[in-house]
């Protein structure tokens, strides 16, 4: 599986650790940056990640910033993305099972490396449940305001 990963400056360390974790698990990783802790704007990297998943360059996305909130908002601006902010494995699994999330976001200042790895494992090992959830997910793709 190919996983895109992106962060802002606050989450560069966690991004590097999760990218290696994914590689060790046999996944291809598309690291969209940044490369260092110089200040950057999270929307720029959230948009890159959203485009990579929407275009099919990656199956799933992992978005990281200090809290996870800002970058998740940026990723979710793309209509093809369903990015869930998670902080523990159950929410990561439910994001896939109930919402067919194709990206997760985490906050490097709030979620330690071991918990982030557990969230990522739960997310990637859970299938979309379909059924009663399918119609709801369709409404997310084609909203009627």
pLDDT at 16: 98
Q: Kindly name the residue from 27, 78, 83, 98 that is annotated as catalytic.
A: 98
- The CATH architecture one would assign to domain 2-141 is 3-Layer(aba) Sandwich (3.40)
CB contact at 8 A, 140 and 82: yes
Q: Give the torsion through C-alpha atoms of 136, 47, 5, 98, to 10 deg.
A: -10
Based on the residue annotation, tell me whether 78 is a catalytic residue of this protein: no
Angstrom distance (rounded) from CA 52 to CA 5: 10
Based on the residue annotation, tell me whether 65 is a catalytic residue of this protein: yes
pTM here?
Answer: 0.96
Binding residues: 8-9, 66-70, 99, 109, 132, 136
Q: Give the torsion through C-alpha atoms of 9, 10, 15, 16, to 10 deg.
A: 70
Angstrom distance (rounded) from CA 95 to CA 108: 19
pLDDT tens digits along 7-29: 999 999 999 999 999 999 999 99
Residue 59 has pLDDT above 90, yes or no: yes
pLDDT tens digits along 62-79: 999 999 999 999 999 999
């Amino acid at each position: 599986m190919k996983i895109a990963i992106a962060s802002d400056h606050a989450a560069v360390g966690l991004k590097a650790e999760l990218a290696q974790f994914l590689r060790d698990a046999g996944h291809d990783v598309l690291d969209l940056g940044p490369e260092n802790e110089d200040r950057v704007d999270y929307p720029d990297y959230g948009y890159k990640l959203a485009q990579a998943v929407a275009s099919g360059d990656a199956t799933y996305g992992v978005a990281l910033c200090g809290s996870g909130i800002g970058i998740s908002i940026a990723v979710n601006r793309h209509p093809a993305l369903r990015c869930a902010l998670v902080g523990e494995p159950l929410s990561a699994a439910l994001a896939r099972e109930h919402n067919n999330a194709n990206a997760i976001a985490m906050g490097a200042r709030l979620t330690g490396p071991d918990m982030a790895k557990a969230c990522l494992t739960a997310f990637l090992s859970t299938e979309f449940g379909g059924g009663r959830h399918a119609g709801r997910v369709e409404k997310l793709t084609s909203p009627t305001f």
